Amino acid sequence: MPWLQQARDLARVLRTLGIDTVLDVGANRGGYREFLRDHVGYRGRIVSFEPVASVFEALTAASSADAQWAGVQMALGDTDGWLDINVSGRTTMSSFLQPDTARLAGLGYQHLVAVTDVVRTESVQVRRLDSVLGSVLEGRGDARIFLKCDTQGFDLKVLAGARASLPSIAAMQVELSFKPIYANGPAYSEVLECTAASGFDVAGIYPVRRDELLRIVNFDCLMINSRHPSVVDAASRLVVGRNPSLD
């Protein structure tokens, strides 16, 4: 089970840092919530952001059975406004970017050409995390936050709209691509440079897709904010001989 190590690592991070709020950005129908509840053992609050109307309707129906799970119908980005999103036949692959069909076909990733095929566009609300974090946290200034970002090539935009919020985020998980799936999407190294500049250190890399030769197409990257007070405190107890906040 390739996700087992990821679940174990995530459980340890959430427990060690006392995470009580997960921001699930790019939630689709709530698959990450199922992963957290069923495999990680996390029981705290989850706030799921999903912009596509029909998908959000399914998420809302599912969330009614979990009092600690709330859905918000919007995307996160670097501006406050409305954008057209490309809705794919497999809705988990919907993106504000166009799939790079020629590149995918040239790489032999015909399966990705099929699942990223755009069936329609939809105008959706986009907000910066900096604009909505206070209301999402319901005024809780002491929340221990974990950010999960799976936005199909829009991750740098999400981070750009979260500049003021990143210091309050103890850890995050971002899905990145070694082989870009969408046209004009950022290279994985750009996203890692951005997060590193904000104090985040890589704690785990977990392949999501591989091709027939086992080359990794995209992966989940788990990162810890070494400047966050909860991480500094944990390091003082668990890490011998150095203080990550000084790195």
Q: Scan for tokens 């003082």, then name that residue.
A: 236
Which tens digit of pLDDT belongs to each residue from 130-148?
999 999 998 888 899 999 9
pLDDT band at 246 (very low <50, low <70, confident <90, very high): very low
pLDDT band at 108 (very low <50, low <70, confident <90, very high): confident
Using a pLDDT cut of 90, give the percent of the chain over it: 70
Closest to 157 (Cα-Cα) out of 78, 96, 84: 78
CA–CA distance, 155 with 125 (Å, rounded to integer): 16
Looking at residues 115-122, what average pLDDT do you find?
89
Closest to 105 (Cα-Cα) out of 216, 179, 6, 31: 179
Angle (nearest 5°) at CA 17 between 143 and 222: 105
Residue type, 163: R
pTM: 0.92
- CB within 8 Å of 239: residues ≥ 6 apart: none
Looking at residues 223-228, what average pLDDT do you find?
97
Return the sign of the alpha-carbon dihedral for residues 133, 138, 144, 149.
negative
CA–CA distance, 128 with 137 (Å, rounded to integer): 14
Fold (topology level) of 4-246: Rossmann fold (3.40.50)
pLDDT band at 235 (very low <50, low <70, confident <90, very high): confident
Question: Among 58-62, 109-113, 169-173, 242-246, which stretch is predicted with the lowest mean pLDDT?
Answer: 242-246
The answer to whether 107 touches 179, Cβ cutoff 8 Å, is: yes
- What the block records as the tokens of 15 is 């427990």
> Reduced to 3 states, what is the DSSP secondary structure of residue 25?
strand
Closest to 221 (Cα-Cα) out of 200, 246, 243, 238: 200
Which tens digit of pLDDT belongs to each residue from 80-95?
999 999 999 889 989 9
The answer to whether 125 touches 75, Cβ cutoff 8 Å, is: yes
Mean pLDDT of the chain: 91
HSE-CB at 1 with a 13 A cutoff on CA atoms is 7
Angle (nearest 5°) at CA 76 between 11 and 158: 75
CA–CA distance, 111 with 61 (Å, rounded to integer): 30
State residue 19's pLDDT score.
97
CA distances from 63 to 66, 72, 167 (A): 5, 11, 29
pLDDT band at 247 (very low <50, low <70, confident <90, very high): very low
The answer to whether 127 touches 74, Cβ cutoff 8 Å, is: yes
